[in-house]
Amino acid sequence: MDGKCWKALVATSLLAASAGCRTGSKTTSGMPAPPAAGGGNAVSRMFKPKPAGPVPQFQPVDAAVADAGKKKGPLKAETVAALANAQVGAAFDFQEEGTVNPNLDRLADDARQKFQKALELDPKNRDALQGLARLYTRIGDRDRAISTLQTLQSHYPNDHKVAYELALTHARFEDWTNGIAACRNALAGDPENRRYHKTLGILTARTGNFEEGFTTLASVMPEAEARMTMAKVLADSDRADLAEQQVKLALKADPNFAPAHQWLAERKAPAGDVQPVEFRVPEVK
């Protein structure tokens, strides 16, 4: 078959197919057949009117949250405690910037209620108990702060971090004796914790036992730093004379110790030689 015959055959086939499509689109009566379900080309299907349905209604945010809560279940204790902690932080951070927060009492009460709600969901929840105790501490409610931490400790008796939290809370209310006991309890759980040792040394010095306090501090830090820490404790205890002596002894132990130089410069005191009573540095065994 030559090229002309081949082209003629193809043309004839195309015409026949076209005619078949046109004749097949009519009924025997000559009227166009109704389109089959889902028929039509892509464009006609794309712009086909959507079936009628309910019109979407505006839903307030609170209603949406409520619906979501119904679907997902009640909030967990951890979530409620986290919300309360965030509220406490926002309330007191604003207060600490130097401007009295007029809503502090309301925000503190709201946070307290959230903590208590979390404890209804989980009475042993650590975040809720710790957060509630810290809230009580910040508003000056010593008895409730200590009681809440003791409840936390009853649930986690071997947790040295809980014992240390209790020690700090006692110290916040200047209860040095109970603070020392709680700090020793924390050290029983973590004997090498330098922070616990430092706190124990400070609390011991706060009771007036300066020698033992210094010895405890010097066991976990250089002599100059231990003496500088003692100086701060003595200054807070209205013993400025002994504080200055410790600063000068810190420089004797380390002439380049910057915090001691800064202390003396701020008070415009000379850094000459002194012969005070020195707390003994414990011997290394």
Average pLDDT per 10 consecutive residues for the chain, totaling 285 residues: 49 47 47 52 52 56 51 81 91 71 89 96 96 96 98 97 98 97 98 97 96 97 97 94 95 96 81 54 49
> What CATH number should be reported for the domain whose range is 74-157?
1.25.40.10
The pLDDT value recorded for residue 267 is 83
Angstrom distance (rounded) from CA 109 to CA 141: 13
Backbone angles phi and psi of 28, in degrees to 5 = -65, -20
What pLDDT score was predicted for residue 101?
79
Ranges for all domains in the chain classified under CATH 1.25.40.10:
74-157
| pLDDT for res 89 | 87
Distance, in Å, from the CA atom of 31 to the CA atom of 25, rounded to the nearest integer, reads 9
Q: Give pTM, 2 decimals.
A: 0.68
Report phi then psi at 26, rounded to 5. Answer: -115, 155
Residue 135 near residue 125, CB atoms below 8 Å: no
How far is Cα 210 from Cα 227, in angstroms, rounded to an integer?
11
SS3 track for 6-73: HHHHHHHHHHHHHHHHHHHCECCCCCECCCCCCCCCHHHHHCCCCCCCCCCCCCCHHHHHHHHHHHHC
Q: What per-residue confidence (pLDDT) applies to 10?
A: 43
Task: Say whether domain 208-285 belongs to CATH 1.25.40.
Answer: yes
Predicted confidence at residue 23, as pLDDT, reads 44
